[in-house]
Amino acid sequence: MGPVSVARRELSSRAWSLSSPVSPQPRYGSIVTVLSIDGGGVRGIIPGTILAFLEEKLQELDGPDVRIADYFDVVAGTSTGGLVAAMLTAPNTEGRPLFAAKDVNKFYLEHCPNIFPAVW
């Protein structure tokens, strides 16, 4: 086995270990909660709609100031999902999420033509 194979095996065995110092620590209990948001261009409206519904239901349970980011240890996305993740987790001056989930679709509808121009 060459040095690259050994290094790859060592990395893969440590990369996703919850005991790794780079792993997030769970906020509640012993499980790390992850929200992964898929890409797809202007279809970011789809997770925006679902997350707005989820946040609305969470607000009914826990109060009007709760945000999606309050319930997940890690929020990440691919392509347009990364944009949604950033909107839901970027902090304002008070350290709270800058955007509510209900703001995602408003953002997409307003800025979609500039972010995702038609190519045909």
How many helices (H) and strands (E) the chain has is answered by: 4, 2
% residues pLDDT > 70 (the chain): 76
Q: Determine the Cα–Cα distance for residues 91 and 93; give it in Å rounded to an integer.
A: 7
Residue 98: what pLDDT? Answer: 94
What number is the average pLDDT over the span 32-60? 90
Residue 51's CB is within 10 A of a number of other CB atoms, namely 22
What number is the average pLDDT over the span 47-68? 95
Residue 34: what pLDDT? Answer: 93
What number is the average pLDDT over the span 9-30? 56
Q: Determine the Cα–Cα distance for residues 108 and 114; give it in Å rounded to an integer.
A: 10
Q: What's the pTM?
A: 0.73
Q: Is the pLDDT of residue 14 over 70?
A: no
Residue 23: what pLDDT? Answer: 61
Name residues whose C-beta falls within 8 Å of residue 54's C-beta, 6 or more positions apart in sequence.
68, 101
